[in-house]
Amino acid sequence: MKSTSLVAAALALLLSACASVPTPAPSGTAPGPAPATTATGIALRAPNIDRSYTSQNQDSRALYIVLHYTVLDWEKSLKVLTTGGQVSAHYLVRDNPVASYALVDENRRAWHAGASFWAGNTNLNSSSIGIEIVNPGFVDGPGGRVYAPFPQAQVDEVIALVRDIQKRHNVRPERIIGHADIAPGRKQDPGPNFPWKQLADAGLIPWPDGPSVLIKTLEHEVAPRDVAWLQDRLARIGYNVSRSGQMDVLTKEVVSTFQMKYRPRDISGVVDAETAALIEVASTPATMRVAGAAEGETRPYTSRW
């Protein structure tokens, strides 16, 4: 009897031990990875994000649209903008055949602006969408610098692209600018042959009121203003110019950049009466106009102020 009881007890202990052994994984099945932990042993996991609510209090990070020219042909432009290097753009507009190529997602930062300033904002890579336009730029010859023209079909494509971006991101018209505007002297693109007036006629950017410019030109012929006034007006427009009261190199470069856009037939940087009038009108509320929906219709553009 005693021996039988001992045997039964031993069997019970053996069965109990077997029951505590975990069931092995099926043959050929690897155990799952252990959860990741921090150096202090805290388990890491994905966040539990609920996206069923959306705030109405937001806007686009894209505040500016910046236009450039590539100074290269199509093949070289594409290579430079897409391979390892220090430059990129959100879009590249080809010249022949005309087409727009998206190279960087609009939600990401492209490297196109470099050291830059406009209306108190710096480092415009972080707040702009860059458009590179395939164009050879310029050639320096015995007679001076000669800038290349832009095919009309390519200009039409740029206008369509800018309109699409502006509408989706609600970019203010005065914030559609050139690389030269945000880096005067260092950059010249898109140059004096880029037809900014066509963008104005398309209702994309504001433009100086013609009659106001004529009146102000006569006034400046009679009573020219000093350099401090000029620098203050250029700063109001958005240019990075110091109020030194002297016609220094930077001020002359800024004037030349301004002329490229609004009076491209003479980009010498010399402030004649017409240039001074254009600067005054471009920096004054209600004397800048924006095209309306009807042909020939314009209205005062005062949103910047």
**Structural domains in the chain plus CATH codes:** 64-205 (3.40.80.10), 208-300 (1.10.101.10)
Q: What is the pLDDT of residue 80?
A: 97
For position 13, what pLDDT does the model report?
A: 44
What residue ranges of the chain have pLDDT lower than 50?
Answer: 1-4, 6-22, 305
pLDDT at 40: 77
Task: Quote the pLDDT of residue 17.
Answer: 43
* Catalytic residue positions, numbered: 132
Give Cα 51 to chain centroid, integer Å: 28
Between CA 215 and CA 220 the distance in angstroms is 9
Model pTM? 0.84
Quote the CA–CA distance of 131 and 89 in Å, as a whole number.
Answer: 6
Cite the beta strand spans of 107-191 per DSSP E: 117-118, 121-122, 128-133, 138-141, 144-147, 176-178
State residue 304's pLDDT score. Answer: 56
